[in-house]
Amino acid sequence: MSWLKKLTSGLSKTSSRVTSSLSSLLGRSSIDAASLEDLEDALISADLGTTAAAAIAARVKSHKFDGDITAQALALALSDGLTERLESVAKQLEIDSAHQPHVVLLVGVNGSGKTTTAGKLAQQWRQEGKSVMLAAGDTFRAAAIDQLKVWGERTGTEVIAGEQGGDAAALAYQALERAKSQNTDVLIIDTAGRLQNRTELMDELAKVVRVIRKLDDSAPHDSVIVLDGTVGQNALAQVSAFQQVADVSGIIVTKLDGTAKGGVVIALADTFGLPVHAVGVGEGVDDLQPFEARDFANALAGVEQPEA
Protein backbone atom coordinates (compact mmCIF):
# COMPACT_ATOMS: atom_id res chain seq x y z
CA MET A 1 0.00 0.00 0.00
CA SER A 2 1.32 3.45 -0.88
CA TRP A 3 2.06 5.93 1.92
CA LEU A 4 -0.78 8.20 0.75
CA LYS A 5 -3.26 5.33 1.01
CA LYS A 6 -1.91 4.40 4.46
CA LEU A 7 -2.24 8.01 5.58
CA THR A 8 -5.77 8.29 4.20
CA SER A 9 -6.74 5.02 5.87
CA GLY A 10 -5.01 6.03 9.11
CA LEU A 11 -6.80 9.37 9.28
CA SER A 12 -10.19 7.89 8.30
CA LYS A 13 -11.58 8.14 11.87
CA THR A 14 -10.72 11.85 12.02
CA SER A 15 -11.90 12.44 8.48
CA SER A 16 -15.29 10.80 9.04
CA ARG A 17 -15.75 12.83 12.24
CA VAL A 18 -15.35 15.99 10.15
CA THR A 19 -17.13 15.00 6.94
CA SER A 20 -20.14 13.16 8.45
CA SER A 21 -21.26 16.46 9.97
CA LEU A 22 -21.12 18.21 6.62
CA SER A 23 -23.64 16.19 4.61
CA SER A 24 -26.22 18.94 5.18
CA LEU A 25 -24.11 21.26 2.99
CA LEU A 26 -24.19 19.04 -0.07
CA GLY A 27 -26.33 20.11 -3.01
CA ARG A 28 -26.45 23.75 -1.91
CA SER A 29 -25.04 26.62 -3.94
CA SER A 30 -23.37 28.34 -0.99
CA ILE A 31 -22.66 27.97 2.73
CA ASP A 32 -24.89 29.98 5.07
CA ALA A 33 -24.15 31.10 8.63
CA ALA A 34 -25.78 28.07 10.28
CA SER A 35 -23.84 25.68 8.05
CA LEU A 36 -20.65 27.58 8.82
CA GLU A 37 -21.30 26.89 12.49
CA ASP A 38 -21.77 23.17 11.74
CA LEU A 39 -18.48 23.13 9.89
CA GLU A 40 -16.70 24.89 12.76
CA ASP A 41 -18.15 22.45 15.30
CA ALA A 42 -17.05 19.48 13.18
CA LEU A 43 -13.49 20.81 13.03
CA ILE A 44 -13.40 21.51 16.77
CA SER A 45 -14.63 17.95 17.47
CA ALA A 46 -11.60 16.68 15.50
CA ASP A 47 -9.36 18.64 17.91
CA LEU A 48 -8.27 21.42 15.56
CA GLY A 49 -8.83 23.99 18.30
CA THR A 50 -11.25 26.93 18.15
CA THR A 51 -9.00 29.48 16.43
CA ALA A 52 -7.93 27.22 13.57
CA ALA A 53 -11.46 25.80 13.20
CA ALA A 54 -12.97 29.29 12.85
CA ALA A 55 -10.32 30.41 10.33
CA ILE A 56 -10.61 27.27 8.19
CA ALA A 57 -14.43 27.34 8.25
CA ALA A 58 -14.37 30.98 7.10
CA ARG A 59 -11.90 30.03 4.34
CA VAL A 60 -14.25 27.27 3.11
CA LYS A 61 -17.26 29.64 3.24
CA SER A 62 -15.45 32.16 1.03
CA HIS A 63 -14.51 29.45 -1.50
CA LYS A 64 -16.11 29.96 -4.92
CA PHE A 65 -17.85 26.66 -5.65
CA ASP A 66 -18.47 25.89 -9.31
CA GLY A 67 -22.15 24.94 -9.21
CA ASP A 68 -23.78 23.08 -6.34
CA ILE A 69 -21.59 21.85 -3.51
CA THR A 70 -20.51 18.23 -4.01
CA ALA A 71 -18.74 16.08 -1.45
CA GLN A 72 -15.48 16.20 -3.43
CA ALA A 73 -15.69 19.97 -4.02
CA LEU A 74 -16.27 20.54 -0.30
CA ALA A 75 -13.39 18.22 0.59
CA LEU A 76 -11.05 20.05 -1.79
CA ALA A 77 -12.06 23.45 -0.38
CA LEU A 78 -11.48 22.14 3.15
CA SER A 79 -8.13 20.69 2.10
CA ASP A 80 -7.06 24.08 0.71
CA GLY A 81 -7.82 25.73 4.06
CA LEU A 82 -5.96 23.04 6.01
CA THR A 83 -2.96 23.12 3.67
CA GLU A 84 -2.64 26.90 4.06
CA ARG A 85 -2.49 26.40 7.81
CA LEU A 86 0.10 23.61 7.66
CA GLU A 87 2.52 24.51 4.88
CA SER A 88 4.72 26.71 7.06
CA VAL A 89 5.40 23.92 9.59
CA ALA A 90 6.00 20.96 7.24
CA LYS A 91 9.75 20.51 7.56
CA GLN A 92 11.68 17.28 7.27
CA LEU A 93 14.16 16.33 10.00
CA GLU A 94 17.47 16.89 8.23
CA ILE A 95 20.95 15.97 9.39
CA ASP A 96 23.56 18.74 9.29
CA SER A 97 26.94 17.28 8.36
CA ALA A 98 28.62 20.28 10.05
CA HIS A 99 27.88 18.49 13.33
CA GLN A 100 29.76 15.27 14.04
CA PRO A 101 27.57 13.76 15.32
CA HIS A 102 24.27 15.52 14.72
CA VAL A 103 22.50 14.87 18.05
CA VAL A 104 18.75 14.17 18.02
CA LEU A 105 17.13 14.09 21.46
CA LEU A 106 13.70 12.42 21.63
CA VAL A 107 11.45 13.52 24.50
CA GLY A 108 7.83 13.02 25.51
CA VAL A 109 5.47 11.37 27.97
CA ASN A 110 5.14 7.64 28.67
CA GLY A 111 3.79 5.59 25.79
CA SER A 112 4.08 8.23 23.08
CA GLY A 113 6.23 6.00 20.88
CA LYS A 114 9.72 7.47 21.42
CA THR A 115 11.68 4.21 21.37
CA THR A 116 9.93 2.92 18.25
CA THR A 117 10.43 6.33 16.61
CA ALA A 118 14.15 6.20 17.48
CA GLY A 119 14.43 2.82 15.76
CA LYS A 120 12.50 3.93 12.68
CA LEU A 121 14.61 7.08 12.30
CA ALA A 122 17.80 5.01 12.67
CA GLN A 123 16.60 2.67 9.93
CA GLN A 124 15.73 5.52 7.57
CA TRP A 125 19.06 7.30 8.05
CA ARG A 126 21.00 4.04 7.75
CA GLN A 127 19.23 3.45 4.43
CA GLU A 128 20.50 6.89 3.32
CA GLY A 129 24.04 5.69 4.05
CA LYS A 130 24.56 7.62 7.28
CA SER A 131 26.29 6.12 10.31
CA VAL A 132 23.94 6.15 13.28
CA MET A 133 24.28 5.43 17.00
CA LEU A 134 21.39 4.89 19.42
CA ALA A 135 21.58 5.79 23.13
CA ALA A 136 19.19 3.96 25.46
CA GLY A 137 18.53 6.92 27.74
CA ASP A 138 15.29 5.42 29.06
CA THR A 139 17.08 3.84 32.01
CA PHE A 140 13.84 3.42 34.00
CA ARG A 141 12.45 0.59 31.88
CA ALA A 142 14.39 -2.56 31.05
CA ALA A 143 11.85 -3.14 28.27
CA ALA A 144 12.82 0.14 26.58
CA ILE A 145 16.52 -0.78 26.67
CA ASP A 146 15.75 -4.23 25.22
CA GLN A 147 13.43 -2.73 22.59
CA LEU A 148 16.14 -0.32 21.43
CA LYS A 149 18.67 -3.17 21.27
CA VAL A 150 16.28 -5.07 18.99
CA TRP A 151 16.09 -2.04 16.70
CA GLY A 152 19.89 -1.85 16.82
CA GLU A 153 20.20 -5.47 15.66
CA ARG A 154 17.52 -5.01 13.01
CA THR A 155 19.17 -1.92 11.54
CA GLY A 156 22.84 -2.70 12.15
CA THR A 157 23.09 0.27 14.52
CA GLU A 158 25.33 0.41 17.60
CA VAL A 159 23.33 0.87 20.81
CA ILE A 160 24.90 2.45 23.91
CA ALA A 161 23.05 1.11 26.94
CA GLY A 162 23.65 0.84 30.68
CA GLU A 163 21.94 -0.86 33.57
CA GLN A 164 18.29 -0.32 34.40
CA GLY A 165 18.05 2.50 36.95
CA GLY A 166 21.35 4.05 35.85
CA ASP A 167 22.05 7.76 35.41
CA ALA A 168 20.50 8.83 32.10
CA ALA A 169 22.67 11.97 31.82
CA ALA A 170 25.87 9.95 32.32
CA LEU A 171 24.75 7.49 29.66
CA ALA A 172 24.00 10.31 27.19
CA TYR A 173 27.44 11.81 27.88
CA GLN A 174 29.14 8.44 27.31
CA ALA A 175 27.22 7.93 24.05
CA LEU A 176 28.17 11.38 22.75
CA GLU A 177 31.83 10.75 23.63
CA ARG A 178 31.73 7.46 21.71
CA ALA A 179 29.91 8.96 18.72
CA LYS A 180 32.47 11.79 18.54
CA SER A 181 35.42 9.39 18.69
CA GLN A 182 33.94 7.31 15.87
CA ASN A 183 32.92 10.29 13.70
CA THR A 184 29.34 9.04 13.71
CA ASP A 185 26.92 11.07 11.56
CA VAL A 186 23.87 10.86 13.87
CA LEU A 187 23.38 10.15 17.57
CA ILE A 188 19.75 9.51 18.56
CA ILE A 189 19.16 9.73 22.32
CA ASP A 190 15.99 8.02 23.52
CA THR A 191 14.80 9.35 26.89
CA ALA A 192 12.43 8.02 29.54
CA GLY A 193 8.79 8.91 29.21
CA ARG A 194 7.88 11.41 31.89
CA LEU A 195 4.70 13.18 32.86
CA GLN A 196 4.95 16.90 32.30
CA ASN A 197 3.75 17.59 35.87
CA ARG A 198 6.48 15.51 37.58
CA THR A 199 9.06 18.15 38.45
CA GLU A 200 11.84 15.76 39.49
CA LEU A 201 11.61 13.86 36.19
CA MET A 202 11.64 17.06 34.16
CA ASP A 203 14.70 18.17 36.15
CA GLU A 204 16.44 14.95 35.16
CA LEU A 205 15.72 15.67 31.49
CA ALA A 206 17.15 19.18 31.91
CA LYS A 207 20.27 17.52 33.38
CA VAL A 208 20.65 15.33 30.26
CA VAL A 209 20.63 18.47 28.11
CA ARG A 210 23.10 20.25 30.41
CA VAL A 211 25.52 17.33 30.48
CA ILE A 212 25.69 16.77 26.72
CA ARG A 213 26.31 20.50 26.26
CA LYS A 214 29.57 20.06 28.20
CA LEU A 215 30.84 18.06 25.23
CA ASP A 216 29.08 20.05 22.50
CA ASP A 217 27.52 23.36 23.45
CA SER A 218 25.35 23.33 20.33
CA ALA A 219 23.77 19.95 21.19
CA PRO A 220 21.13 18.65 20.97
CA HIS A 221 20.86 19.87 17.39
CA ASP A 222 17.25 18.69 17.29
CA SER A 223 15.13 18.26 20.38
CA VAL A 224 12.05 16.47 19.10
CA ILE A 225 8.91 15.81 21.12
CA VAL A 226 7.13 12.60 20.14
CA LEU A 227 3.38 12.95 20.67
CA ASP A 228 0.71 10.25 20.72
CA GLY A 229 -2.00 11.52 18.35
CA THR A 230 -4.74 9.89 20.41
CA VAL A 231 -4.32 12.37 23.30
CA GLY A 232 -5.83 15.25 21.32
CA GLN A 233 -5.67 18.67 22.95
CA ASN A 234 -3.54 17.36 25.85
CA ALA A 235 -0.66 17.36 23.37
CA LEU A 236 -0.56 21.16 23.64
CA ALA A 237 0.16 21.02 27.40
CA GLN A 238 2.87 18.43 26.77
CA VAL A 239 4.68 20.64 24.23
CA SER A 240 4.49 23.66 26.57
CA ALA A 241 6.03 21.74 29.47
CA PHE A 242 8.81 20.06 27.49
CA GLN A 243 9.71 23.30 25.72
CA GLN A 244 10.77 24.76 29.07
CA VAL A 245 13.31 22.04 29.89
CA ALA A 246 14.44 20.63 26.55
CA ASP A 247 14.20 23.55 24.08
CA VAL A 248 11.84 21.54 21.86
CA SER A 249 12.66 22.32 18.23
CA GLY A 250 10.24 20.04 16.40
CA ILE A 251 7.37 17.57 16.60
CA ILE A 252 6.65 14.00 15.49
CA VAL A 253 3.07 12.75 15.89
CA THR A 254 2.51 8.98 16.12
CA LYS A 255 -0.52 6.65 16.34
CA LEU A 256 -2.74 8.78 14.14
CA ASP A 257 -4.36 5.60 12.84
CA GLY A 258 -5.98 4.93 16.22
CA THR A 259 -7.77 8.23 16.74
CA ALA A 260 -10.49 10.61 15.64
CA LYS A 261 -8.37 13.47 17.04
CA GLY A 262 -5.89 13.81 14.15
CA GLY A 263 -6.82 17.47 13.81
CA VAL A 264 -4.56 18.17 16.79
CA VAL A 265 -1.70 18.46 14.27
CA ILE A 266 -3.34 21.69 13.05
CA ALA A 267 -3.83 22.92 16.63
CA LEU A 268 -0.14 22.25 17.33
CA ALA A 269 0.93 24.10 14.18
CA ASP A 270 -1.33 27.01 15.08
CA THR A 271 -0.26 27.28 18.71
CA PHE A 272 3.49 26.73 18.50
CA GLY A 273 4.56 27.13 14.87
CA LEU A 274 7.16 24.39 15.48
CA PRO A 275 8.22 22.20 12.56
CA VAL A 276 6.17 19.02 12.25
CA HIS A 277 8.82 16.61 10.99
CA ALA A 278 6.93 13.36 10.55
CA VAL A 279 3.69 11.53 11.26
CA GLY A 280 3.11 7.87 12.01
CA VAL A 281 0.12 5.70 11.11
CA GLY A 282 1.26 2.20 12.04
CA GLU A 283 3.92 -0.03 13.54
CA GLY A 284 5.95 -0.77 10.40
CA VAL A 285 9.25 0.99 9.73
CA ASP A 286 7.73 2.66 6.65
CA ASP A 287 4.70 3.85 8.62
CA LEU A 288 6.60 6.93 9.86
CA GLN A 289 7.05 9.38 7.01
CA PRO A 290 7.99 13.04 6.53
CA PHE A 291 5.04 15.36 7.08
CA GLU A 292 3.61 16.77 3.84
CA ALA A 293 0.99 19.49 4.30
CA ARG A 294 -1.12 18.78 1.18
CA ASP A 295 -1.14 14.99 1.62
CA PHE A 296 -2.16 15.33 5.27
CA ALA A 297 -4.85 17.92 4.44
CA ASN A 298 -6.29 15.75 1.65
CA ALA A 299 -6.43 12.73 3.97
CA LEU A 300 -8.03 14.71 6.78
CA ALA A 301 -10.59 16.36 4.50
CA GLY A 302 -11.52 13.07 2.84
CA VAL A 303 -10.45 14.07 -0.67
CA GLU A 304 -10.98 11.08 -2.96
CA GLN A 305 -7.63 9.84 -4.23
CA PRO A 306 -7.43 8.64 -7.84
CA GLU A 307 -6.66 4.94 -8.21
CA ALA A 308 -2.95 4.36 -8.84
Structural domains of the chain, with CATH: 3-89 (1.20.120.140), 102-291 (3.40.50.300)
Please check the confidence at residue 308 and state whether its pLDDT lies above 60.
no
- Write down the pLDDT at residue 210: 96
pLDDT at 306: 65
Q: What is the mean pLDDT of residues 116-133?
A: 96
**Position 4 confidence tier, pLDDT thresholds 50, 70, 90:** confident
Side chain identity at 152, as an amino acid letter? G
How many angstroms separate the CA atoms of 9 and 15, rounded? 9
What's the distance, Cα to Cα, between the start and end of the chain in Å? 10
Using alpha carbons, list the distances in angstroms from residue 73 to 28, 66, 68, 76, 149: 12, 8, 9, 5, 49
Given pLDDT bands bounded at 50, 70 and 90, which one contains residue 222? very high
Q: What is the dihedral of CA 119, 89, 201, 180, to 10 degrees?
A: 50
Is 242 a residue whose pLDDT tops 70? yes
Residues in the chain: 308
pLDDT at position 307 = 59
Section 275-297 average pLDDT: 93
pLDDT, average across residues 185-189:
98
What average pLDDT does the structure give for the chain?
A: 92
Most confident of 22-26, 29-33, 237-241: 237-241
> How far apart are alpha carbons 158 and 135 in whole angstroms?
9
Q: Determine the average pLDDT of the residues in 86-95.
A: 96
What would the mean pLDDT of 214-222 be, rounded to a whole number?
A: 97
Type and span of the H or E element at 148: helix 142-155
**pLDDT value at residue 152:** 95
Confidence check: pLDDT of 221 > 90: yes
CB atoms within 10 A of CB 23: 11
Amino acid at residue number 81: G
Is residue 196 pLDDT above 70, yes or no? no
